[in-house]
Amino acid sequence: MDEREIARVAALVRDAETVGVLTGAGVSTASGIPSFRGEDGIWGSEFDPQDFHRRRFDRDPAGFWRDRLDLHDAMRPDGVEPNAAHRALADLESAGVVDAVVTQNTDGLHQDAGSDRVIELHGNAERVACEDCGRRSDASDARRRAADGDLPPTCECGGVLKPDVVLFGEQLPPKALHDARDLAERSDAFLAVGSSLTVDPAASLPATAARDGSLVVVNLDETRADDRAEVVLRADVTDALPAIAERVHEA
C-alpha cells in the first residue's frame, strides 16, 4: 500500500465539501460474508437465483421462505461483525467528513458499525416488510417463526412478510436510487470501495461523480472506473480505509 497515495486520498477527502462513498461486496467479505457473484460466489454453486425471484415469492411464499432460511444461514455465519473498513467509514462520518455511504450490501453492517446515513440500494436482509400494510420490522422474529414452521410468516395485519431486499425481477427502490445519484453528483470526492463495479445502476455512480469531482477507487482487482479515477488503490479495504481515516485525523 503506497503511503503517498493514502496521503493524497486523505487530502482529497479532507478538503472536499461533500464526500460520498459506494461500498460493494468486498467490504462485507472482509467480515466473512460470502459474495453472491464471482469465482467463490454462492449463486450457481450453492443456490439457484431463480429460487429467489419475485415470481417465486408470489407463487410459493412458503417454499421461498424455506429456501430463504438456508440462504440467510449461508450469507450470515455466526459471529459476523463489522470490520475495520466499516468502522473507519463510521468514524469519518461521525467526524463530519463522510456525508453518506451508498451500499450494494444487504447485511446492515454499516449501521452496526455506527454509520447513520446509509443509502441501501438493495435493501436490508435484517428487515422484513409487510406486503399489505408496508410495515417494516426486524427480520429475526420472522425467521424464527419460519424456522418453527409458520410459513410464510405474516404481519399482525395478516399480510405476508417479505425480506426487505430487492429480489430478482424487482426494481431498485426509487428513493434510494435517487439519493445515491444525487450524492454522486454533489460529491467533491467520491470513494468506490470494494466493488467490482459490474452491476448497474450502482456501477454508473463513480462515472457520475467523476464528472465534477475527484474519484477514488479502492479495490484489489481492476474496475471499469479505474481510468476515470484520480487515485486507484490496489489494497485491502480493511487496510486502506483505516489508513485514510488516520491521515485525515492527523491533519
Residues within the annotated binding site?
130, 133, 155, 157
Q: Which position among 53, 110, 122, 249 bears the catalytic label?
A: 122
Examine residue 206 and say whether the peptide bond preceding it is cis (omega within 30 degrees of 0). Answer: no
123 membership: H or E segment, kind and range: strand 123-130
**Distance between CA atoms of residues 136 and 124, nearest Å:** 11
Active site annotation includes 178: no
- φ, ψ for residue 240, nearest 5 deg: -70, -50
Dihedral of the alpha carbons of 187, 9, 37, 31, in degrees to the nearest 10: -110
**Distance between CA atoms of residues 108 and 119, nearest Å:** 11
Q: What angle do CA 123, 84, 69 make, to 5 degrees?
A: 40
- φ, ψ for residue 47, nearest 5 deg: -135, 150
Q: Which residues are catalytic?
A: 122
